[in-house]
Chains A and B, each alone.
Chain A
């Protein structure tokens, strides 16, 4: 792969890998809570059912994308990436500035454990069934975000496989660490990862939307790296500015 291809494949793999780490850690916390409280049968059943549903969606919907004209696909994917990526970046900047509380996997694990323990055991809806549904929902919802990110950053020619490999590597890494430590992965620097992913998805969003509308970026694919740098510097500057107490007192 030449330098230009790496210019766009690198951010695609990195975005898919880091985003998947964030999402898989969140899903793992819920599955761990289900497995710990109600046993591994409903947890594994719910997880496998969700992965099967995700696989079905990818297999059915994935091939349809090739029938969409490239410029339309770039605009739609670009705009969705802008909406999704800038949403993540906004939250990451606010968390980095101390305006919004950080995501706490231990607290989420405790809350989910409490919810599962409070489920009444009914004949028509046994506890294991509801616990399995909780695992199914968590894996499906977080997995849908991973699928969207992989398809969106992999929308360029030859990028789908690098992005998918990035996401798969993240899943394997989180599961391996999770199985070893067997508790919520609270030490993952989630906001740093979200910040990076928000930056990369926003840059991809500007890049694809611009290309879809007819912008020929200088340096072609390498322009993506410049866009990543601009969003990163701007995001860091915004977080630093919002962190300043002067802003608080001037309001």
Chain B
């Protein structure tokens, strides 16, 4: 693997540690954007959705990894 490929892989790895975690965060941000700009939801409510959505995502990701490791 060339030096540039290795650097690109590491850079990508900075943001993509867990594919499902990454996907869930991106979907959550899109939902919050739609809530504010398409459905006219109170931005503060949408902010709460963003915060608690992030907490739910990290809880799911850690629980899933724990289950996977303990089943090995």
CB interface residues, B 22-47, toward A, < 8 Å: 22, 25-26, 29, 32-33, 36-37, 43-44, 46-47
Closest chain A CB from B60 CB (angstroms): 10
Q: Is the CB of B7 within 8 A of A137?
A: yes
The answer to whether B69 and A87 touch across the interface, beta carbons within 8 angstroms, is: no
Q: Is the CB of A141 within 8 A of B59?
A: no
CA distance A242 to B62 in the complex (A): 8
Chain A 154-196 interface mask (CB, 8 Å, partner B; 1/0): 0000000000000000000000000000000000000000000
SS class, residues of chain B in contact with chain A = helix
Q: How far is the CA of A125 from the CA of B3 in the complex (A)?
A: 15
CB distance from B70 to the nearest CB of A (A): 5
CB distance from B3 to the nearest CB of A (A): 7
Q: Is A227 an interface residue (CB 8 A)?
A: yes
A234 touches B70 (CB 8 A): no
A210→B43 CA distance, assembly (Å): 8
Across-interface contacts of B36 in A (CB, < 8 A): 213-215
Find out whether the CB atom of A90 lies under 8 angstroms from the CB atom of B47.
no
B55 pairs with A230, CB closer than 8 A: yes
Closest to B46 in A: A215
CB neighbours of B37 from chain A (8 A): 213-214
> With A90-B61, A230-B55 in contact, do A209 and B50 touch (Cβ < 8 Å)?
yes
A84 touches B66 (CB 8 A): no
Binding site for A on B (CB under 8 A): 3, 6-7, 10-11, 14-18, 21-22, 25-26, 29, 32-33, 36-37, 43-44, 46-47, 50-51, 54-55, 57-59, 61-63, 65-67, 69-71
Chain A positions within 8 Å of B65 at CB level: 90, 94, 99-100
- A141 and B43 in contact, given A79-B26, A82-B54, A251-B70 (Cβ under 8 angstroms): no
**Are A90 and B44 closer than 8 Å at their CB atoms?**
no
Residue pair B6, A86 in contact (C-beta under 8 Å) = no
Cα–Cα distance between A221 and B44 once the two chains are bound (Å): 15
Q: Closest CB-CB distance, A225 to chain B, in whole Å? A: 14
* Cβ–Cβ < 8 Å partners of B29 in chain A: 75, 79, 82, 209, 213
- For A144, the closest partner residue in chain B by CB is B11
3 nearest A-B pairs in the assembled complex, by CB-CB distance = A215-B47, A87-B17, A83-B15
